[in-house]
Every structure is written in structure tokens, then in C-alpha cells.
Amino acid sequence: MAREVPEREQQRLRLEGVGRRYGRRGRWVLSGVDLEVAPGALIRIEGANGTGKSTLLRLLAGLDAPTVGRIVGRPRTAYVPERFPAALPFTAADYLMHLGTVHGLSRPAAADAADEWLERFGAAEHARTPMSELSKGSSQKVAVAQALLAEPELLVLDEAWTGLDDPARGELEGAVVERTAAGGAVVFVDHDPRRLAGRPDATYAVVEGTLNPRTGNGDAHADGPHVVVRAQGPAGTAPPDEVTELAALVEEAAGDAHRITVPESRSDAVLRALLGARPPWHVVSVEPEPEPAPASVPDLARGIVPRPREPESIETESP
């Protein structure tokens, strides 16, 4: 049974004018980011490769500090990093029990929570396996279990579904829905546009260092049907900026191809931008986006309060 988190007792995380660059002369990876994460909110962060999504999530998780701006109101936070340090000198159960006690659980409660989450993710048989001997998938199950077992007020997931088998992926989606229903906030990045489709209270895209709200209700897929454009450009190049700004999601595919998910209403503009690039991109295919899988847990009303932005920084949705 999930621990309820009364809203009035929770810290509300706020990013105010946050900028981050690596090194004194490095480029600004993020700049002028304002964001408020309300209790119970489910927030999706999108963006092309290397735009700064992980940088933003590390700031949200409290593992990194802004170069400028400030972060206030730290809730009890747990984080699943993009790369989990698997070669730790513990068995899976001992590691989870240790993490549970760090998060304030008694040893028996931490041991019970460790067993419960390993069971839920189908990894109970690996409880006594040293972490260094776990497969990538089992190690990822431990990574998500360590974040969930203390029932955090804020859960930050950086591509946490990657490497999990199908049942564990479904289990993690269910756990996210449970967490938000219990009043916890969840912020996630995932390369699959169908992940938790229709559920986020807000979706933001990181574009050229700024955080742009997607649509009125925050769901990237609320703006009508989408198409998937597969396109190939010169080796090692990212799609033109105009494409990244118009698309709901840009992902690298096999070879030098990119998979670009875009609202149907903007697909002509994306194709024009690809074909008009110098040198032009080769459009391999244009297909309707597959239907998302139906959600398994009843929907629940939740509140998200995006911080007000300066008018010039609001992304307008072109028809």
C-alpha cells in the first residue's frame, strides 16, 4: 500500500532562471529555465539528442547545481540515472536494503520493500546475486527499485524503461501512476513517444537550451494525430533546427537515419525543412504513428502548475 504524501506537507520544487554550462567557457546547455513541479504532477521532458535533458534531470534530482539561477523547495527525491553504476560490491537485496535505510526506513521495512520491488519487477530470483554479476536488464530493475522503494515525493526517471523487459516496463508505468496518485511528483525522459501516453500533466521540450511547454494540457500527443518521418542526412549530422522545433520527438535510428514524430498538421513543414536543407535530407518513409497501447490503471486528476514565462519565450503552436 503506497504511503500517501499530504500535499500541504510537501516541498514544491522550483527552478528559477536556471542556467547550466560545463566549464567557465563552455556553451550554455540550459538557460533561463523556470519550472515548478507541483505535488502529484507527471511531467514529460522531450528533446533531441544532446539538447540537455539529462542535465535538466540531474538538476531536478539535486545531483548537480545550476551555474546561474536557483532551485528552491527540495522534496524527498529519488532518481534513476541514464547509466546505472552496476558494479557495486553488494547483492541486489543488500544494496536495496542499504538504500532503503539511507532513505529513512528501518532495516526490516527496507528489507521488506527490497523484496517487494524485486518481486514486482520479476527479479526476486536475483536478490542474492552480486550486483556485478547481474545482466543489464536485471541491473536496470534494481536501478528502478532503489528509486521506488522509499516512495519519494519527487521521482526523476532518465530513460528508466531502457533495458527492461515488457512486463517490467508495464510495472514501472503502473508504479509511476501509483506514485502520482499518492501525491508524489514524477518527471521523466523516455525515447518512446508512447510511454505513459495521454497521462502527463505537462510536456516540455528542451530546444536550444530553453524549456518550451508543448501544448495547453501538456500532452505532446494532444495536438492531433502524429506521423513518423524516417529521414537520413549527412553522416553524424542532427536534423535542421527547424525540424527539431516542429517535431514532438526526434530520435536517432539505425545508421544515419532519424525517426521524427510530428503532428500531422506540421508534417508538410517538416518535410519542406528536410528537403530544403543544404545538403538535402533523404526522406525514407512517412507513416501514421502507431496507436498507443491502452493504459492499465484508471486515470486520476492531478495538478501541475507551470511557472509563468516571459511572453517572448512562450512557444506558440502554429496551426
What is the contact surface with ligand ATP in residues (CB under 6 A)? 22, 29, 47, 49-55, 82
Q: What angle do CA 96, 302, 184 make, to 5 degrees?
A: 20
Report in angstroms how near the CB of residue 259 gets to ligand ATP at its nearest: 13
Report in angstroms how near the CB of residue 44 gets to ligand ATP at its nearest: 13
Q: What angle do CA 138, 140, 141 make, to 5 degrees?
A: 65
Report in angstroms how near the CB of residue 22 gets to ligand ATP at its nearest: 3
Report in angstroms how near the CB of residue 211 gets to ligand ATP at its nearest: 12
Nearer to ligand ATP, 50 or 280 (CB): 50
CA distance 220 to 202: 8
Report in angstroms how near the CB of residue 29 gets to ligand ATP at its nearest: 4
Nearer to ligand ATP, 29 or 93 (CB): 29
Contact predicate 160/188, CB 8 Å: yes
CA distance 9 to 7: 5
DSSP string, 5-28: --GGGS--EEEEEEEEESSTTS-E
Nearer to ligand ATP, 55 or 146 (CB): 55
Distance of CA 235 to the CA centre of its chain: 27
In the sheet that holds 202-207, the strands lie side by side as 77-80, 154-158, 185-189, 42-46, 202-207, 210-213
Nearer to ligand ATP, 23 or 255 (CB): 23
Contact predicate 204/307, CB 8 Å: no
Report in angstroms how near the CB of residue 30 gets to ligand ATP at its nearest: 8
Q: What cell does 116 get?
A: 517487494
Nearer to ligand ATP, 35 or 123 (CB): 35
Which residues touch 140 (CB under 8 Å, ≥6 apart)?
Answer: 84, 160, 162, 163, 164, 168
Nearer to ligand ATP, 51 or 140 (CB): 51
Q: What's the alpha-carbon Rg for the chain, to the nearest Å?
A: 20
Report in angstroms how near the CB of residue 81 gets to ligand ATP at its nearest: 11
Nearer to ligand ATP, 3 or 136 (CB): 136
Backbone angles phi, psi at 34, to 5 degrees: -115, 130
Nearer to ligand ATP, 49 or 318 (CB): 49
Report in angstroms how near the CB of residue 258 gets to ligand ATP at its nearest: 13
DSSP for residue 141: H
DSSP for residue 256: T
